[in-house]
Amino acid sequence: MSDRLTMQDPRQQYPRPPFPRQPQPVPGLAGELEPRPDHGETSYTGSGKLKGRKALITGGDSGIGRAAAIAFAREGADVAISHLPSEKPDAAEVLKLIEAEGRKAVDLPGDITDEAWCRDLVAQAVEKLGGLDILVVNAGHQQNRKDISKVTSEDFDVTLKTNLYALHWITQAAVPHLPAGASVITTASIQAYEPSAILLDYATTKAGIVAYTKALAKQLLEKGIRANAVAPGPFWTALQASGGQPPEAVEKFGSESQYGRPGQPVEIAPVYVLLASQEGSYITGEVFGVTGGAGIA
């Protein structure tokens, strides 16, 4: 894995396509990706920015959520991760990494398309962590469809429930537990601004996340709580290989960025740390684009 802290050409810092064709069943496992993503397992170094904090991260088993979980633990936070039961192999690795930092790790497997589970997972996180002051709503569902006629009601339903309904249910359950100084972070996407034709339902939800987060920020600041969104561009995660992109697109994934490669999850983790920490005290209602040079409008 690359040494993140050594000065180098960022275009060459991580693997570039072409990548092997590697279709996976939904929801996909990071452990099956080739090359293996860098979530910060050996490359993220903390400095105590979140010492004593208590975080809940949905989709914390792999991808951007996993990178945030590792970074938060190395910055001194106890971390609960939510994930699907089928993602247990990835989640087990993350939990061990959190515990290796001497932090409490809480495992919360379940399906966030279930409203009752969303509310229960928040209750369990609060109980097992002894409180909650960072909420990262990151879990997402993405399945490519080449034509509007192929986007079924079932497709639309699972995408909206995973990406938007769960965001609302989890945030609504968490807010009564969040003290002044707490932080809510959502994961939007460049798709909110530059939607791909094959991601009709996914892009719709990501635009919704931007609007929801901006409105939420206005409400929560009255309680001394900040809310912000992060909008990634192409990042190398299991979401892509498990139907988020067509198999042929996975082979060249990230090549369209100015970097000529996809981002690695560890490269976005510092943004989540900033937004979670007291150093981000004057940041709320913002969308932070990390797009490999594409920008957001």
Catalytic residues: 202
CA distance 86 to 96: 18
CA distance 87 to 91: 6
In DSSP terms, 136 is beta-bridged to 57, 185
- Answer yes or no: are the C-beta atoms of 206 and 189 closer than 8 Å: yes
Residue with tokens 């936070």: 77
Which tokens is 20 given? 């092997």
- The set of residues, in sequence order, having a beta carbon less than 8 Å from that of 280 and lying 6+ positions away, is 183, 226, 228, 274
Q: Check whether the bond before 35 is cis (ω within 30° of 0).
A: yes
CA distance 169 to 1: 37
- Answer yes or no: are the C-beta atoms of 176 and 137 closer than 8 Å: no
**Cβ atoms within 10 Å, residue 243:** 20
Burial (CB < 10 A; 0-12, 13-18, 19+), residue 136, is buried
